[in-house]
Amino acid sequence: MDSEDTIDIENLDDNKFYGDAEKYWKNISPTVDGMLGGFSHISSTDIAGSTKFLHLFVKPPGKTNKVRALDCGAGIGRITKRLLLPNFSHVDMVELNQDFLDEARHYLADNASRVERYICSGLQNFTPDERRYDVIWCQWVLGHLTDEDLIGFFRRCQHGLSEQGVIIVKENTTAVGTTDFDTTDSSIIRSKNAMEEIFKKAGLRILKEEKQKRFPKEIYDVYMFGLQ
């Protein structure tokens, strides 16, 4: 979650970019601390902020239904367990690492039966079923997509939303006009402005946005966006 190197993301070698990320996650332990890169102590603060933001859409006067959500880059299911299952009847998980999905069935315990689909796929290759999801939740994963693939992913997700459904993005952001590249896990950290430009290119509009509060000063600013 700390900044690394600057890089020209327009000239990334896609095979190396995606391959290096896959290799990194294959060597990460299937634990909450592993999912959060050693920052497991922020998990409760993170979930509290996400819950408050989610409730803007799924509680009156919000109009989003609470039937089914999708957890993107789900890992072992930290967000599924603590945020989505308490608010939705059913959840699907999409995750590149099959070992994480296997561990999720144990981590979720009795709630595992409410996860309808454990989907092993990178988001650049994933297409949701049409009109299936009330909320598509994307957190700390979109940096693993190139700009072009991220725009394509968002366009496909729009078709996956139910009526009044929303895409919620929660990501690290850099200062305006800068882009960082984390060589450790092969991920891009974009500025808030760059994210907003990608939303626009994908045909999405921002319904609400909010900065996550009470995170340590040494990590990136984290913003949440509600999109349609």
- Which residues contribute to the annotated binding site for S-adenosyl-L-methionine? 73, 78, 123-124, 139
Residue appearing with tokens 């349609």: 228
> Are the beta carbons of 90 and 114 closer than 8 angstroms?
yes
Q: Which residues are bridge partners to 93 per DSSP? A: 71, 118
> Are the beta carbons of 147 and 9 closer than 8 angstroms?
yes
Instruction: Write the DSSP string, 78-145.
Output: HHIIIIITTT-SEEEEEES-HHHHHHHHHHTGGGGGGEEEEEE--GGG--PPTT-EEEEEEES-GGGS
> Are the beta carbons of 160 and 133 closer than 8 angstroms?
yes
Instruction: Using alpha carbons, select from 125, 106, 117, 127 the residue that is nearest to residue 32.
Output: 106
d(CA 61, CA 146): 35
Binding residues, by number, are 73, 78, 123-124, 139
Instruction: Using alpha carbons, select from 150, 105, 108 the residue that is nearest to residue 126.
Output: 150
